[in-house]
Amino acid sequence: MIDNISLTIDQGAPSFNFLPLPPSTVMRITSIPANASDNIEFHFIPKYNASRYYVYLYFAEIQKLEANQIREFNIFVNGKLLNNEPLILVYLQSLYHISVIDENKLELWFNKTSRSTLPPLFNVIEIYMANDFLQSETYQTDIDAILNVKSIYEIKRNWQGDPCTPVSYLWKGLNCSYAGSSSPRIIYLNLTSSGLIGNIAPAISNLRSIEYLDLSNNSLTGAVPDFLSQLRFLRVLNLEGNQLSGAIPIQLLVRSENGALKFNFGGNPNLCSSGSCNKMNKVVVSLVASLGGAFMILAVATISLRIHYKRHQVSHNVSKLGAYSRIKQELE
């Protein structure tokens, strides 16, 4: 093994199509047989079974060859030739090959050609194991809906990949139904105390199989949307501890009263059922009427006082004028 720490591989070079360039610090470490006549063998027996293996092989020449030196070799994967033509490497430039293997073993040979004066080399081997999942992907409408919810509320949970499959990587706060070969459906969504802000997301209406929905203890505002009453499988709805306002859809109240829905909505001071909303409206109307009546009484009293004051002033002036006239007549 040779480590040329002073070399920089692929300086200024573009990436390999969709592959990023391997780190230069990795590429400058090269495995080369000590004996020029030897080849390189690599055997890999996986600990876990996989349905497929993806093998990425990276090569870079890190030695300046003399005019009479040749490094040329072939790659064999599980006994089969991988490259169409022998590999001839360019100094400090990477070359890569990809192999897809369906066998549960990996055996690599890097064999020098008959005209090669130098042994083969390799820099990096990456092996990825892939498994085929027996379960179908989550129903697409559910995927779109939950991704929309994630985006609207900027949920910070590690929601990556498929929401429901595989089961061991089920998204936190979700549960799904698995019926035979059918696509899984989201039936449970718990976002309590998740820092949600804004209105209840319309995308939730597309979770048609949802049975349990908990949005409690957040900062949700606005009205309780009608679409919640149209989720026919919904059995539990918790909206407690938010800042929702307005009237609750009558269908939700009816389902709650007949036992079809467990509905919690306390802790929303401005939220009311239809009956309590009427009482609140009556109180507001009565208060407005009382204030209006008081204002009218105050206005009438003010006008009466002004009229009385003006009459008093006129009478006083008339009296003064009469007295003045009598005094004038006596002096004459």
Torsional sign, CA 210, 214, 220, 223: positive
Report the pLDDT value the prediction gives residue 189, as an integer from 0 to 100.
98
Residue-level pLDDT at 8: 66
Q: Give the pLDDT of residue 103.
A: 83
In the predicted model, residues of the chain with pLDDT beneath 70 are: 1-21, 23-24, 132-134, 274-276, 278-332
DSSP letter, residue 230 = G
Residues contacting residue 122 through CB under 8 Å, at least 6 positions apart: 30, 31, 40, 57, 58, 59, 110
Kindly report the number of other CB atoms within 10 A of residue 242's CB atom. 22
Q: What DSSP line would sit under 118-141, residue for residue?
A: B---B-EEEEEEE---SSPPPPHH
Tell me if the pTM is above 0.75.
no
All domains in the chain, ordered by first residue: 2-130 (2.60.120.430), 140-276 (3.80.10.10)
pLDDT at 19: 63
